[in-house]
Amino acid sequence: GLYIEGVKDGRAFMNSIKACNKPVLVVKAGRSKAGARATASHTGSMAGSDKIYDAAIKQAGGIRCRDIIELFDMARAVSGQPPAQGNRIGIITNGGGAWHSSYRCL
């Protein structure tokens, strides 16, 4: 899993995710305006648009996690699992919220 505050070379970042044979889980700091200000204040890095990071990570085949707890939960869930084959994946949950969170990761 990755915890990132910013990316200098977006193309190289996406290519690195694409090159992995295992799921790449990503937590991106600075999701909110306040978080972006905090990130910039101690790293000097621009946080960038959250929607752009979402799209780029998904396009590269990565899995975006909301926070570090979700990253650890997702890491536990995918560890030891073979990659899903094809485009016929089912999600079974006990509620709409859990389904939506899972669906976002496909």
**Model pTM score:** 0.64
Helix 50-60 with 10-19: angle, nearest 10 deg: 30
Dist. CA 65–CA 78, nearest whole Å = 13
Bigger pLDDT: 39 or 97?
Answer: 97
- Which domains are seen in the chain, by residue range? 2-103 (3.40.50.261)
pLDDT for residue 79 is more than 70? yes
**How big is the CA angle at 82 (ends 23 and 5), to the nearest 5 degrees?**
10
pLDDT at 20: 86
pLDDT at 12: 92
